[in-house]
Amino acid sequence: MSARTLLLLGTTLLLFAGSSVAGAQANSSLTVNPAAAGPLTITTAVAGQEPTGVVASGGTYTVFIKKNQGYSSISARLSAPLPAGTTLTITLASPGSGAVSAGPVDLTTSAITVVSSIPTNTTLPSVSVNYSFAATTAAGVLALKTASVILELAP
């Protein structure tokens, strides 16, 4: 086999590797839409109980995992801690095809799995992101604040 033949083979392998995924998607991807959610504003309580938590839609997310990239799940984390006495919970629905939602997950600055067993090379439907926000009386009164929620493909 000549060097020219091997070089051609290398080029062929590159092209093959770049187009082996199903459909038109060439790389793994994770998107969430819209880029902002909320506001989640706690306004009331039942007397004697902690303030009543609130829920809000976070829109939808779409995931595509290319084969052999080492991804099979989505993790979520915060870029910074929440104020004391507050809890932000995220729920990513399962897009089906065997993917498993972890259900409601309390967010911290440490990544935690929210969806697992995501099949590779499979075009999956966009499905819902939901948030709930809770606060104890110890949190006090909080003016509008923001939290950056980072979703990431993970092994």
Partner 1 sequence: MNTRIARRSALALALLTCTMAGSASAQTATQTVTFAVNAINQVAFTGSPSLTITTAVAGSNPTSVSDASASWAVTTNQTGAKITASIPLAMPAGLTLSANLAAPGGATSLGSKALGTAGVDLVTGITMKAQSGMAVTYTLDATAAAGVVPSGSRVVTYTITGGT
CA–CA distance, 92 with 32 (Å, rounded to integer): 11
Rounded least distance, CB 48 to partner 1, Å: 3
Should residue 122 be labelled a site residue for partner 1 when binding is judged by CB under 8 A? no
- Considering the complex, state which of residue 40 and residue 102 has its C-beta at the smaller distance from partner 1: 40
Rounded least distance, CB 63 to partner 1, Å: 9
Q: Which helix (H) or strand (E) holds 14?
A: helix 3-18
Rounded least distance, CB 81 to partner 1, Å: 13
Should residue 18 be labelled a site residue for partner 1 when binding is judged by CB under 8 A? yes
- Considering the complex, state which of residue 28 and residue 101 has its C-beta at the smaller distance from partner 1: 28
CA–CA distance, 67 with 83 (Å, rounded to integer): 39
- Considering the complex, state which of residue 30 and residue 98 has its C-beta at the smaller distance from partner 1: 30
- Which one of residues 23, 24, 36, 80 is an interface residue with partner 1 (CB under 8 A)? 36
Should residue 106 be labelled a site residue for partner 1 when binding is judged by CB under 8 A? no
Contacts (Cβ under 8 Å, ≥6 apart) of 55: 40, 130, 131, 132, 133
CA–CA distance, 125 with 119 (Å, rounded to integer): 12
- In the chain, the amino acid numbered 154 is A
Should residue 42 be labelled a site residue for partner 1 when binding is judged by CB under 8 A? yes
CA–CA distance, 134 with 86 (Å, rounded to integer): 6
Should residue 110 be labelled a site residue for partner 1 when binding is judged by CB under 8 A? no
Token pair of 96, please?
């089906």
- Which one of residues 93, 114, 115, 135 is an interface residue with partner 1 (CB under 8 A)? 135
Should residue 47 be labelled a site residue for partner 1 when binding is judged by CB under 8 A? yes
